[in-house]
Amino acid sequence: MRFTKMHGIGNDYIYIDCMESEPESPDTLAREISDRHTGVGGDGIVMICPSDKADFRMRIFNADGSEARMCGNASRCIAKYVIDQGLTDRTDLTLETLSGIRRLMARKGSDGKVESVTVDMGRPEVGVVDTEVALPDGSRHRLTAVSMGNPHGVIFTDDLSDAMVLGHGPELERHPMWPDRANIEFARTDAPDRITMRVWERGSGETMACGTGACATLVAAATNGLAGRKAEISLPGGRLTIEWLPESEGGHVMMTGPATEVFTGTYIRN
């Protein structure tokens, strides 16, 4: 099976061109091929498929085989893939996801390849705001729930240590407050337009970046009065610019960041 390894600020997936056919059991494939010791290694797989509603369709599976409804970093990488591979000659595209249709606007660099992409991530849905969650170890965390088409719990804290992220992320992901687990963001507001965060992703563990997570964090920060509606979000793998447009302009969240191809290869399924 041919694949392309790509990443969006370190959030790495194995991209499979499914314009002709889809692999069997993509959930099992995602678990096998994402393994960093016995597979290619990645945070999951992304399938680029034809669509009858948009220019292309995305399916994304986390490293544990669960299918996700949306992925910000993969949306940018798909724009790069389909444009650089000549599957389209347009740079303003639509992408069907399980959470609806998203608009991708790509910019090319001097080498003619896509360098950065802005994604219209749609309207966020804010759930509980600044609610206390208690864990069995006695720790208490205040979180704000935001859906960016997938579920996020954002915790504002100055403690971005491993003890916090790796120690509490797994339990918070599976807290009974979520019907279907959630992605957990640990964020510190450095200024009204600058936020630093780490993310514990549902189904993949800590990743270098999460596009939907960065959007959810900006929305949670603005909702809690901790930031304005536009900020640069720094993640372990790099930076994204996130803007939550005013209600008068539709209230959508716009995400801008790079997309990078790493290598291509052939995976032999046993």
Binding residues: 11, 62, 72-73, 150, 183, 201-202, 211-212
Structure tokens at 257: 């960041």
Nearest to 69 by CA among 47, 100, 48, 43: 100
Give the binding-site size for ligand LBFN2T5F (rule: CB under 6 A). 16
Among residues 127 and 203, whose Cβ is nearest to ligand LBFN2T5F? Answer: 203
Residues 184 and 173: their CA atoms lie apart, in Å, by 6
Assess 237 for contact with ligand LBFN2T5F (CB under 6 A): no
Q: 170-187 burial by CB neighbour count: b if 16+ within 10 A, else e?
A: ebbbebeebeebbbbbbb
Residues 224 and 222: their CA atoms lie apart, in Å, by 5
Among residues 117 and 134, whose Cβ is nearest to ligand LBFN2T5F? Answer: 117
Longest Cα–Cα distance in the chain: 55
Q: Residue 117 CB, nearest distance to ligand LBFN2T5F (Å)?
A: 12
Nearest to 121 by CA among 204, 9, 244: 244
Q: Residue 25 CB, nearest distance to ligand LBFN2T5F (Å)?
A: 18
Structure tokens at 160: 């971005």
Residue 144-183 contact track with ligand LBFN2T5F, rule CB under 6 A, x = bound: ------x--------------------------------x
Number of residues assigned to the chain: 270
- Point out the annotated binding site for substrate: 11, 62, 72-73, 150, 183, 201-202, 211-212
Catalytic residue among 18, 49, 77, 210: 210
Catalytic residue among 18, 71, 77, 215: 71
Residue 200-219 contact track with ligand LBFN2T5F, rule CB under 6 A, x = bound: -xxxx--x--xxx-------
Among residues 49 and 192, whose Cβ is nearest to ligand LBFN2T5F? Answer: 49
Q: Identify whether 210 is a catalytic site residue.
A: yes
Only one of the segments 16-24, 25-33, 132-140, 198-206 lies at the binding site for ligand LBFN2T5F (rule: CB under 6 A); that segment is 198-206
Residues 255 and 10: their CA atoms lie apart, in Å, by 16
Cβ proximity of 122 and 149 under 8 Å: yes
The set of residues, in sequence order, having a beta carbon less than 8 Å from that of 198 and lying 6+ positions away, is 160, 165, 185, 186, 206, 235, 236
Q: 133-156 burial by CB neighbour count: b if 16+ within 10 A, else e?
A: beeeeeeebebbbbbbbbbbbbbb
State the DSSP H helix or E strand holding residue 184, giving kind and residue range, or none if neither.
strand 183-191
Residue 29-68 contact track with ligand LBFN2T5F, rule CB under 6 A, x = bound: ---------------------------------x-----x
Among residues 55 and 206, whose Cβ is nearest to ligand LBFN2T5F? Answer: 206
Residues 94 and 117: their CA atoms lie apart, in Å, by 12
Q: Identify whether 49 is a catalytic site residue.
A: no
Residues 81-140 that bind ligand LBFN2T5F (CB under 6 A): none
Q: What residues are annotated to the active site?
A: 71, 210
- Which residues of the chain form contacts with ligand LBFN2T5F (CB under 6 A)? 11, 62, 68, 71-73, 150, 183, 201-204, 207, 210-212
